[in-house]
Amino acid sequence: MLGRGYTIFNTAIGRCGIVWSSTGVVAVQLPEAREIDTRRRIFAVHPEAREQQPPLNAELAIEGIAGLLQGGDPDFSEVSLDAGGVPGFHRRVYEAACAIPRGETRTYHEIAKALGASGAAHSVAQAIAKNPYMLIVPCHRVLEAGNYADRLSPYGGVISKRRLLALEGAHPVASKTLFEVLLPVAPPRPS
Protein backbone atom coordinates (compact mmCIF):
# COMPACT_ATOMS: atom_id res chain seq x y z
CA MET A 1 0.00 0.00 0.00
CA LEU A 2 1.29 3.42 -0.90
CA GLY A 3 0.36 6.55 1.05
CA ARG A 4 -2.53 6.67 3.45
CA GLY A 5 -5.94 5.11 3.26
CA TYR A 6 -9.17 5.75 5.10
CA THR A 7 -12.61 4.29 5.46
CA ILE A 8 -15.90 5.30 7.06
CA PHE A 9 -17.65 2.69 9.19
CA ASN A 10 -20.83 2.20 11.21
CA THR A 11 -20.97 2.32 15.01
CA ALA A 12 -23.70 2.64 17.62
CA ILE A 13 -23.18 6.43 17.70
CA GLY A 14 -22.89 7.07 13.97
CA ARG A 15 -20.41 6.77 11.10
CA CYS A 16 -16.81 7.04 12.25
CA GLY A 17 -13.66 7.31 10.17
CA ILE A 18 -10.21 5.78 10.43
CA VAL A 19 -7.00 6.71 8.62
CA TRP A 20 -4.02 4.37 8.30
CA SER A 21 -0.60 4.04 6.72
CA SER A 22 1.61 1.00 6.10
CA THR A 23 2.90 1.46 9.67
CA GLY A 24 -0.43 1.56 11.50
CA VAL A 25 -3.46 3.64 12.43
CA VAL A 26 -2.82 7.34 11.87
CA ALA A 27 -6.10 8.77 13.19
CA VAL A 28 -9.64 7.98 14.28
CA GLN A 29 -12.47 10.39 13.60
CA LEU A 30 -15.64 10.12 15.67
CA PRO A 31 -18.87 11.04 13.88
CA GLU A 32 -19.83 14.58 13.14
CA ALA A 33 -23.49 15.56 12.84
CA ARG A 34 -23.42 14.48 9.17
CA GLU A 35 -21.19 11.94 7.43
CA ILE A 36 -20.02 14.57 4.94
CA ASP A 37 -18.67 16.60 7.88
CA THR A 38 -16.79 13.54 9.15
CA ARG A 39 -15.25 13.13 5.71
CA ARG A 40 -14.39 16.85 5.51
CA ARG A 41 -12.57 16.68 8.83
CA ILE A 42 -10.54 13.69 7.61
CA PHE A 43 -9.68 15.49 4.36
CA ALA A 44 -8.72 18.67 6.22
CA VAL A 45 -6.15 16.82 8.33
CA HIS A 46 -5.17 14.06 5.86
CA PRO A 47 -5.75 15.38 2.33
CA GLU A 48 -3.51 12.67 0.86
CA ALA A 49 -5.64 9.79 2.21
CA ARG A 50 -7.70 7.78 -0.26
CA GLU A 51 -10.77 5.68 0.52
CA GLN A 52 -9.80 2.00 0.48
CA GLN A 53 -10.58 -1.39 1.98
CA PRO A 54 -8.95 -1.39 5.41
CA PRO A 55 -6.01 -3.71 6.09
CA LEU A 56 -6.15 -6.21 8.97
CA ASN A 57 -4.68 -3.75 11.51
CA ALA A 58 -7.34 -1.13 10.71
CA GLU A 59 -10.04 -3.85 10.79
CA LEU A 60 -8.94 -4.79 14.33
CA ALA A 61 -9.21 -1.12 15.34
CA ILE A 62 -12.64 -0.78 13.70
CA GLU A 63 -13.97 -3.87 15.50
CA GLY A 64 -12.64 -2.56 18.81
CA ILE A 65 -14.06 0.93 18.31
CA ALA A 66 -17.47 -0.42 17.32
CA GLY A 67 -17.44 -2.74 20.33
CA LEU A 68 -16.44 0.01 22.75
CA LEU A 69 -19.20 2.28 21.46
CA GLN A 70 -21.71 -0.50 22.18
CA GLY A 71 -20.47 -0.69 25.77
CA GLY A 72 -17.90 -3.46 25.25
CA ASP A 73 -14.38 -3.65 26.62
CA PRO A 74 -12.14 -4.18 23.58
CA ASP A 75 -8.43 -4.93 23.69
CA PHE A 76 -6.50 -2.59 21.41
CA SER A 77 -3.08 -4.07 22.30
CA GLU A 78 -2.76 -5.72 18.88
CA VAL A 79 -3.52 -2.50 16.98
CA SER A 80 -0.39 -0.80 15.61
CA LEU A 81 -0.29 2.99 15.63
CA ASP A 82 1.68 5.17 13.23
CA ALA A 83 3.28 7.63 15.63
CA GLY A 84 5.74 9.04 13.10
CA GLY A 85 4.44 12.60 13.42
CA VAL A 86 3.65 12.47 17.14
CA PRO A 87 6.03 14.31 19.53
CA GLY A 88 7.77 12.17 22.14
CA PHE A 89 6.05 13.78 25.14
CA HIS A 90 2.65 13.20 23.53
CA ARG A 91 3.53 9.51 23.03
CA ARG A 92 4.34 9.23 26.74
CA VAL A 93 1.01 10.87 27.62
CA TYR A 94 -0.83 8.44 25.33
CA GLU A 95 0.93 5.46 26.93
CA ALA A 96 -0.15 6.74 30.35
CA ALA A 97 -3.73 7.19 29.12
CA CYS A 98 -3.75 3.60 27.82
CA ALA A 99 -2.79 2.40 31.31
CA ILE A 100 -5.93 3.91 32.89
CA PRO A 101 -8.41 1.10 33.58
CA ARG A 102 -11.85 1.19 31.99
CA GLY A 103 -14.33 3.12 34.13
CA GLU A 104 -11.62 5.19 35.83
CA THR A 105 -10.29 8.67 35.15
CA ARG A 106 -7.15 10.68 35.90
CA THR A 107 -6.53 14.42 35.85
CA TYR A 108 -3.99 16.20 33.68
CA HIS A 109 -1.97 16.84 36.84
CA GLU A 110 -2.00 13.15 37.84
CA ILE A 111 -0.72 12.14 34.40
CA ALA A 112 1.99 14.82 34.50
CA LYS A 113 3.07 13.66 37.95
CA ALA A 114 3.14 10.01 36.83
CA LEU A 115 5.41 11.04 33.94
CA GLY A 116 7.79 12.78 36.34
CA ALA A 117 6.80 16.21 35.02
CA SER A 118 4.49 17.44 37.80
CA GLY A 119 4.49 21.01 36.48
CA ALA A 120 3.43 19.94 33.00
CA ALA A 121 -0.34 19.58 33.44
CA HIS A 122 -0.90 22.15 30.66
CA SER A 123 1.36 20.16 28.31
CA VAL A 124 -0.57 17.00 29.15
CA ALA A 125 -3.82 18.83 28.35
CA GLN A 126 -2.39 19.90 24.99
CA ALA A 127 -1.31 16.34 24.18
CA ILE A 128 -4.74 14.99 25.11
CA ALA A 129 -6.44 17.65 22.96
CA LYS A 130 -4.31 16.58 19.98
CA ASN A 131 -4.80 12.82 20.40
CA PRO A 132 -5.37 11.51 16.87
CA TYR A 133 -6.15 7.96 18.08
CA MET A 134 -9.56 8.59 19.69
CA LEU A 135 -10.80 5.58 21.69
CA ILE A 136 -7.74 3.45 20.84
CA VAL A 137 -5.86 5.83 23.13
CA PRO A 138 -8.59 6.59 25.69
CA CYS A 139 -8.02 10.31 26.12
CA HIS A 140 -11.59 10.63 27.37
CA ARG A 141 -10.30 9.12 30.64
CA VAL A 142 -8.03 12.11 31.24
CA LEU A 143 -9.86 15.13 32.64
CA GLU A 144 -9.14 18.62 33.85
CA ALA A 145 -8.95 19.29 37.60
CA GLY A 146 -12.37 18.75 39.12
CA ASN A 147 -13.03 15.84 36.71
CA TYR A 148 -15.24 17.88 34.38
CA ALA A 149 -15.98 15.88 31.27
CA ASP A 150 -17.81 18.13 28.82
CA ARG A 151 -14.86 19.01 26.58
CA LEU A 152 -14.69 17.89 22.97
CA SER A 153 -11.53 16.80 21.21
CA PRO A 154 -10.71 18.09 17.72
CA TYR A 155 -11.19 14.49 16.54
CA GLY A 156 -14.15 13.88 18.81
CA GLY A 157 -16.91 15.05 16.55
CA VAL A 158 -20.08 15.72 18.52
CA ILE A 159 -19.35 13.14 21.22
CA SER A 160 -18.29 14.48 24.62
CA LYS A 161 -15.96 12.80 27.08
CA ARG A 162 -18.93 12.49 29.43
CA ARG A 163 -20.81 10.31 26.94
CA LEU A 164 -17.78 8.10 26.30
CA LEU A 165 -17.17 7.72 30.05
CA ALA A 166 -20.83 6.84 30.59
CA LEU A 167 -20.43 4.00 28.08
CA GLU A 168 -17.58 2.71 30.26
CA GLY A 169 -19.48 3.10 33.52
CA ALA A 170 -17.42 6.02 34.85
CA HIS A 171 -19.16 8.89 36.61
CA PRO A 172 -17.17 12.13 36.42
CA VAL A 173 -18.21 15.16 38.43
CA ALA A 174 -21.08 17.06 36.87
CA SER A 175 -20.00 20.24 35.16
CA LYS A 176 -20.69 23.63 36.68
CA THR A 177 -23.91 25.31 35.72
CA LEU A 178 -24.04 28.75 34.15
CA PHE A 179 -25.06 30.18 37.52
CA GLU A 180 -22.08 28.61 39.28
CA VAL A 181 -19.70 30.08 36.71
CA LEU A 182 -21.18 33.57 36.29
CA LEU A 183 -22.86 34.14 39.63
CA PRO A 184 -20.74 32.77 42.45
CA VAL A 185 -22.65 32.43 45.68
CA ALA A 186 -22.12 35.47 47.87
CA PRO A 187 -21.90 35.05 51.63
CA PRO A 188 -25.17 35.83 53.44
CA ARG A 189 -25.64 39.44 54.47
CA PRO A 190 -25.56 40.17 58.17
CA SER A 191 -28.97 41.02 59.56
CATH 3.40.50.300 fits 86-153, yes or no: no
Round to whole Å and give the CA distance between 35 and 18. Answer: 13
> Does 177 have pLDDT greater than 50?
no
C-beta separation of 34 from 64 below 8 A: no
Is 16 one of the catalytic residues? no
- Domain residue spans in the chain? 86-153
Per residue in 41-82, pLDDT tens?
999 999 999 999 999 999 999 999 999 999 899 999 999 999
Per residue in 109-120, pLDDT tens?
999 999 998 889
Per residue in 17-52, pLDDT tens?
999 999 999 999 999 989 999 999 999 999 999 999
Average pLDDT of span 144-170: 64
Residue 103 confidence (pLDDT): 87
C-beta separation of 166 from 140 below 8 A: no
Round to whole Å and give the CA distance between 133 and 92. Answer: 14
Q: What is the DSSP annotation of 139-151?
A: GGGEE-TT-----
Q: Which of 139, 142, 167, 170 is catalytic?
A: 139
> Does 16 have pLDDT greater than 60?
yes
